[in-house]
Structure 1
Amino acid sequence: YGRLHPKVKKEALRYLKLGTNLERWKEENPKLFPKRKKVLEELKKRLESPMPPEKKVGKLKIFKANWNVGDLLLYQIHSTTEYEFDDVERSKWKQKYVLFRVVAITRSNIGSLPMKEYYHSSNVLKMYNWVGDKIPSKKEWEHWDFLPSRMHENEPVYFIDWNSKREDKKIGLELLESDSSYPQPSEKEQEIVNYCINPNIFACMVLKELKYADQMGILNDQTK
């Protein structure tokens, strides 16, 4: 990184030696000709000077999805940061369980790099309409719907998991089961990009959705 290719240097010096561009300035703009000549002389001097030390190329950071489509994730509501502590402590759902289903894996560009080769990937999660005291059985969750969104009418709530494996572990997301036969994501689910999981306030995000559903009288609350 930061190296001038020999062929480029040779071609640039050849062009400067020809002076074609400089002659055009002499004819079309005599007043600025001396200034332009000085700029080109300085450029020639720089090209002929030793190059600065080689710079290290920073490692390209690529975010990869942690889960597979069909994975069922368990989360026990608790605080992991000071930002969540008060909300969790006041909540009646502290230490209760909720479930998420991985329904899609989205891709996004990395700058101007070709997306076929370089891209970020993240998981799209749907939250089940359920909160309980204990880990449920498959016979139970097979019959549950997903929690409706408080922000988008007639849509389920989506969470986008951009986090690293370390952050998901810190949050406390656990794999309960993998279902390779789970339906493939819809085109819309693959394009979901909003409501990204913030590992510092994930518990608060979950509690907001539960509180909204509870106020609407539609929450499947099995903690009562």
Structure 2
Amino acid sequence: MSQRRVLVVDDEATICESVAARLRAEGFDVVTASDGPGAVAECEASEPDLLVLDVMLPGFDGLEVCRRVQAARPVPVLMLTARADETDMLIGLGVGADDYLSKPFSMRVLVARVHALVRRAERATEAASSGQAGMSVGDLEVDLVERRVRRGDDEIHLTRTEFDLLAHFASRPRAAISRESLLAEVWGWGDVAGSRTVDSHVKALRRKLGGDLIRTVHGVGYALDVQK
């Protein structure tokens, strides 16, 4: 497999250089940018496999970078934010970010998240070529090849992570799935806590699919309720 390329975008030179150096030590090919327009231009020029993207940037912010990049060529995005407010997180997820870290962050955690996003992208490619076309659960249809979702007559547009999460629920309808299991099986996190990440993505799915589809199982996690 060819070396994976990561674009690191942060206007704080110390952070940008530290993250780039650590990812290079992990075997990634790393390019950098320090503002919004530069990030979009670098994406077009180098076609990275993944972005580590700060929200607060000169020119225009990371949310706008994410919108433009995902419109041109979908790519996994790990967003860095100085605030842990859930509204900001939901906005980031809504424009196509796959994951987020609040500053200050552990470099070990960042590296783990980057590796997990790469593995998820590889799994999605394998699933698309595995021959399993999709799943139908009640009035929900999940196309694993084209990565499209329909509920009844409506097509629902999901981000990469929202799709992966929904597909996992659809593979185990009615089963109560813990947040820890979701983090391990969908996000690929083995030793990093992040229940708020699961909750934020479930909230986003409910907003798009309707609040009746994913049920909270108190003290456990969530379950996909089958619609007849």
TM-score (norm 2): 0.20
TM-score by length of 1: 0.20
Higher helix proportion (structure 1 or 2): 2
- Structure with greater proportional strand content: 2
Rg comparison, structure with higher value:
1
